[in-house]
Each structure stands twice: as structure tokens, then as C-alpha cells.
Amino acid sequence: MEKQFTFTVFTPAYNRAHLLPRAYKSLQEQTLRDFEWLIIDDGSTDNTAELVRQWQQEADFCIRYYWQENSGKHVAHNRAVNRAAGELFVCSDSDD
């Protein structure tokens, strides 16, 4: 069974490597650590995957990343809800 969290913070991404560092920094600054960051990559062709892999190695919170063929933000949302390990679910877009 997957670890359960109070919160799943979901970020849909499509070629957002230039914006994701700001989202990552914001999550790093949170004092509550009972959350996972769930990123669904909707077919990015930039360096989103490499960036997230680096953060997965260094972060002191759970980061889960899934890549899918470009299918639209609505499909990414549905996939995230199905994969979320948090009791509560919040979407934080990459440009929030």
C-alpha cells in the first residue's frame, strides 16, 4: 500500500520547466510536510522530466512524477485524482 498523506498537491505540466522551479521553491518553504507533490506531465518536450528527477533526489518531501502522451489538462487531472495518495487534493498550477 502506498504511503498516505494529508494532502496531495497536484501540478499539471506541459513544457513548464521554466515555471516549475517557482512551484518547487514554494513547496520547499512549507512547514507542514504531510503532503506529496504529484506532477502529471502531459507530454512535455522540454526538460521537465530531468528537473523533476533532480528534485526527487534532493527534496525532503515526496515528489511523484508521471509522463503521459499529450492528452489535455482534463486527462491529467483525472489521472492525478486516480493516483493521489492524499486524503485532501489541491491543484496548484505551474504558474500559480
- Tens of pLDDT, residue by residue over 28-52, are 999 999 999 999 999 999 999 999 9
Q: How far apart are the first and last CA of the chain?
A: 31
**Alpha carbon distance 62, 47 (integer Å):** 20
What residue spans define the domains of the chain?
5-26+34-91
Q: From 63, 54, 87, 50, select the one nearest 11 (Cα to Cα).
A: 63
What pLDDT digit, counting tens, does each position of 55-94 carry?
A: 999 999 999 999 999 999 999 999 999 999 999 999 999 8
74, 67, 75, 65: which is closest to 38 by C-alpha?
65
CATH of domain 5-26+34-91: 3.90.550.10
2 band by pLDDT with thresholds 50, 70 and 90: low
Average pLDDT along the chain: 95
d(CA 51, CA 31): 23
- Give the predicted TM-score (pTM) of the model: 0.94
Q: How far apart are CA 67 and CA 83, in angstroms?
A: 13
70/26 Cα distance (integer angstroms): 26
